[in-house]
Structure 1
């Protein structure tokens, strides 16, 4: 999948929860990646203050592109934070690019694996940036292009050993999806044999990486990093919502849910972005008021609220 394909047809957008630094983070990231820009800033109004608790005028969502791929950041307060259970795998063409991104993202952050030569890459590092967002950066093995930034789902704690189950659920739920190559730990391995060492799959034609992570980890999936699915129709929303909340998933509010593994998703109508882009504050307030009453998103109700 090329960057241009992602830019115009991206079905799933990584969505990062910040306390109040979404705009700052977007400006940092877009300064470090080529083919990047901030695409939209939406702001809180006084409507819904009892629910969101944010002052009117504060940035609510910062939408941005990195290497032509779409991301969003929410200023949601201190309730949730991103952690390494979902990280971003960045493949770059030169060591100079890896070094520059390591330096730019690492300033004020913490190192999980230092920049070095590893069996899987001659130039690789893993870090949490100053906002707690986790990045794995490496020299691209094959100079054939492809997706620059790939979300990585890491299954820890009670989810250990469920990566293949997750691949099956996700690829059977979304269109243009397929399981890719999966490498398992050998039976003779000292730690959790037959678990996924490294696997790939695609959803909506987008690449994802997945792995089981044995050992002691103090993190698992939270709302700090969610996956936002853009839906054209109510039937899409209904299907994804029903599939992902089944067998132990949990409904939340405003289109948010957790699947049975605890991964957070937002099932969102594409028209919501168009409606929220209105410069009419009264329209935006009506939409906010209506959305705050919902669990699963209802396109007809949102359109009715926009019309007043």
Structure 2
């Protein structure tokens, strides 16, 4: 199935895990779907080194955002310079995404950041963070930032207490 075309989309480079990654991401996000899969033809092996009929790309969509997973070899790896953000309304939502994305070899980092088992960086955070950090109460923003800097996975109750100065 061809997914809706948008002006911009994201291509994620994998060595040979494109299909596995697309399936994993679609299992984590409830509003998701897998689209078309393209396969390497029997030409160009001298350039791409991939066997004929192995997966080239997998189109998928997460929460209405289109992605393409590309099997292109081990040359490039993900790093923290690019991350995907998941603003969450509840602690349960933060816990769900955090646990799902760190499962099976993912890694926790600081300040709501993590890497999934493929090395892709994610930020899982309360959806009200921008309002606090960009808000007019700079003292509250500082207290909140001080609290955030000590956390790995965000604790909404602790963030709200810091904001209120409790």
* TM-score normalised by the chain length of structure 1: 0.49
For the residues of structure 2 that align with 1:260 and 1:267, how far apart are their CA atoms? 16
**Displacement after TM superposition at 1:188 (Å):** 7.2
Give the strand-richer structure, 1 or 2: 1
Measure how far apart 1:187 and its partner are. 6.3
Residue 50 of structure 2, aligned match among 192, 198, 203: 192
Alignment partner, residue 167 of structure 1? 22
Q: C-alpha offsets along residues 63-111 of structure 1, whole Å, 9 cap, x if unaligned?
A: xxxxxxxxxxxxxxxxxxxxxxxxxxxxxxxxxxxxxxxxxxxxxxxxx
The superposition leaves residues 105-124 of structure 1 with CA deviations (integer Å, 9 ceiling, x where unpaired) of xxxxxxxxxxxxxxxxxxxx
Q: CA RMSD in A?
A: 1.7
1:233-257 deviation digits (Å, cap 9, x = unpaired): 1111111110111111100000000
- Structure 2 matches for 1:103-182, cutoff 5 A? 146-155=5-14, 160-182=15-37
1:254 to 111, 121, 125: 111
Equivalent residues of 2:22, 2:58 under 8 A apart:
no
1:278 Cα deviation from its structure 2 partner = 1.7
User: Could you tell me how far apart the structure 1 residues matched to 2:35 and 2:58 are?
Assistant: 7
Q: How far apart, in 1, do the equivalents of 2:61 and 2:23 lie?
A: 11
Q: How does 1:272-283 map to 2 (within 5 A)?
A: 272-283=129-140
Q: Give the deviation of 1:152 after TM superposition.
A: 0.8
CA distance in 1, matches of 2:103, 2:57: 26
Residue 58 (structure 2) pairs with residue 203 (structure 1)? no
Q: Quick check: 2:144–2:162 contact (8 Å CA) kept in 1?
A: yes
Give the count of matched residue pairs.
158
Structure 1: give runs of 5+ residues left out of the alignment: 1-144
Quote the Cα distance in structure 2 between the aligned partners of 1:270 and 1:289. Answer: 18
* Distance (Å, rounded) in 1 between the aligned partners of 2:5 and 2:79: 28
Contact kept, 8 Å, 2:88 with 2:126, in 1: the verdict is yes
Matches of 2:93 and 2:142, distance apart in 1: 26
Residue 220 of structure 1 and its aligned partner are, at CA, apart by 0.8
List runs of 5+ in structure 2 lacking aligned partners: none
SS in 2 for 1:149: coil
Q: 1:235: which partner in 2?
A: 92
Alpha-carbon contact 1:258-1:264 (below 8 Å) kept:
yes
Residue 300 of structure 1 corresponds to 157
- Number of the residue aligned with 1:212: 71
* Alpha-carbon offset, residue 198 of structure 1: 2.3
Q: Secondary structure at the match of 2:9?
A: strand
TM-score by length of 2: 0.88
Q: Contact conserved, 1:183 with 1:199, CA < 8 A, in 2?
A: yes
